[in-house]
Homo-oligomer: A and B are copies of this chain.
């Protein structure tokens, strides 16, 4: 037993990514020293209107940024690094450890936030020697994921070893040729692992995720059959896929160009850091993409999710400044829609088909595979690491439950599997020869929403108003009374947006104004008259239109 029951020997606290997809962030705390693994953001769900991005709730760290020993980043996806600039703006300035490409993309973000000079960045490799950071002995292991040089983390502590896989899959023939380092994990597993936290994203998936090699072969097959130009959209951060496309293009006698801001940027970083085997000079200019013989051209573009302002979407609606698609072009969408993006993705497909382009996508050919493993991979990981305790991470709640059940199926005792969500700490204490674990007191875990320059100022009231306004629009009704004789000296004037098309509804608006005039005829306080205006208009809208706009009376006395 620990001396102080409220202060465990070791605390694991997930602040994001457990019970939601995105904003991954995990805290490990020993002796008031905090290690942070990943600081990701989440993209808003459909009910978070007008929100740019969502951050983890870091109130737990309020006034404690100085206690943070280090930040470890597993890979450079937004949902693992995207919130770091925001946390730095709030005061976090611990040293950051990441592999080269992750660091490279992070530098771009920090630079946009004008934080690059201040940040303490360190480059590590998957086979880095042990980094002793306070009470945390950090090592890494190579993983396969849709981001090159992704790593999982091992944290040796006085209570035992903790393994966090972060996002991963098993692939014998990955894009970079280096499979997830199971040998290292097996060694650690045999030595004994106190706790594992692991990716649960595909916990519903019973089939194996196919190899990246299959994707390369499928893409090459499309290349072989295409006579005209080839345009291919993929995630800008999937530098491994980009290299595969470059390789295929070379084999098939084509040259490659890139379009779309983040694709151009990431390819630049990838070349600079040696992740991409191509030089900047070899890349086609946008002029060459149009002027070269179509059979020699491959264009790699952003927009694999149908993102409205991306290069591929602009092309699909004939609205791209440099490139105009035609019937002899072949378009490959080398991605599948992330949950929530289906409508945009499908709309882009339909628009491409309308242009008569030959479109190849995941439903028709194996031109994409997930960067996450399936249940077989998860079982293999559990069997290799053999942790004493297990916390499923990275997933919606159902994924965590299913991953937790899987752990039991491979032999873990139920009481050693903690299916928890953001804000729920697990407290570990040395106890005789062993270590006990139990749920600690729950912390709050809000979605911290970013809208423009505001971080966390938007809450349910504003969101509810946005939802109502979006559904029904609003009416403002201005009436000005003379404060001496009580007569109307201006109005009633109705201003409305998002309710009816004003131009076509002049008569109706006049009727409503008449009604308001009648409702406020009797002398009364401004407050009472405001209520009358509101009631009259709501009633009118309901009866005449069957609608309930937001009604704001502006009743004045001057």
Contacts and interface: CB of A to CB of B under 8 A. Distances in A.
Interface of A: 19, 45-46, 49-50, 204, 339-340, 342-343, 346, 349-350, 353-354, 359, 363-364, 396-398, 401-402, 451-454, 457-459, 461-462, 465-474, 476, 478, 480, 489-490, 495, 497-501, 504-505, 544-547, 550, 552, 554, 556, 558
A337 to B, nearest CB: 9
A368 to B, nearest CB: 14
A348 to B, nearest CB: 10
Nearest to A458: B501
A558 B490 contact: yes
- Residue among A19, A354, A465 with most chain B CB within 10 A: A465
A458 B495 CA distance: 17
B465 A497 contact: yes
A470 B50 contact: yes
Contacts of A469: 466, 469-470, 473-474, 497-498
A310 to B, nearest CB: 17
Contacts of A550: 497
Contact of A46 (B343, B350, B468): B343
Tallying the copies of this chain within the complex gives: 2
Contact of A470 (B49, B396, B398): B49
Given A346-B396, A554-B554, A556-B478, A466 B470 contact: yes
A474 B549 CA distance: 14
Contact of A462 (B359, B364, B451, B500): B500
A364 B461 CA distance: 38
B462 A204 contact: no
A506 to B, nearest CB: 13
A492 to B, nearest CB: 12
Contacts of A45: 343
A473 B480 contact: no
Q: Which 3 A-B pairs have the closest CB atoms?
A: A470-B470, A452-B546, A453-B546
- Residue among A350, A454, A476, A500 with most chain B CB within 10 A: A350
A398 B346 CA distance: 9
Contacts of A544: 453
A339 B339 contact: no
Contacts of A473: 50, 462, 465-466, 469
Contacts of A363: 204
A497 B552 contact: yes
Given A353-B398, A471-B49, A489-B558, A462 B501 contact: yes
Nearest to A349: B398
A339 B470 CA distance: 22
- Residue among A46, A50, A401, A498 with most chain B CB within 10 A: A498
Nearest to A46: B343
Contacts of A454: 500, 545-547
A481 to B, nearest CB: 10
Given A462-B498, A476-B552, A558-B558, 4 more contacts: A454-B546, A466-B472, A476-B554, A495-B554
A49 B498 CA distance: 9
Contact of A467 (B19, B401, B470): B470
A375 B253 CA distance: 35
B364 A204 contact: yes
A340 B343 contact: yes
Given A452-B547, A495-B554, A474 B471 contact: no
A363 B399 CA distance: 11
A86 B501 CA distance: 21
5 contacts: A451-B546, A453-B547, A465-B497, A489-B558, A490-B558
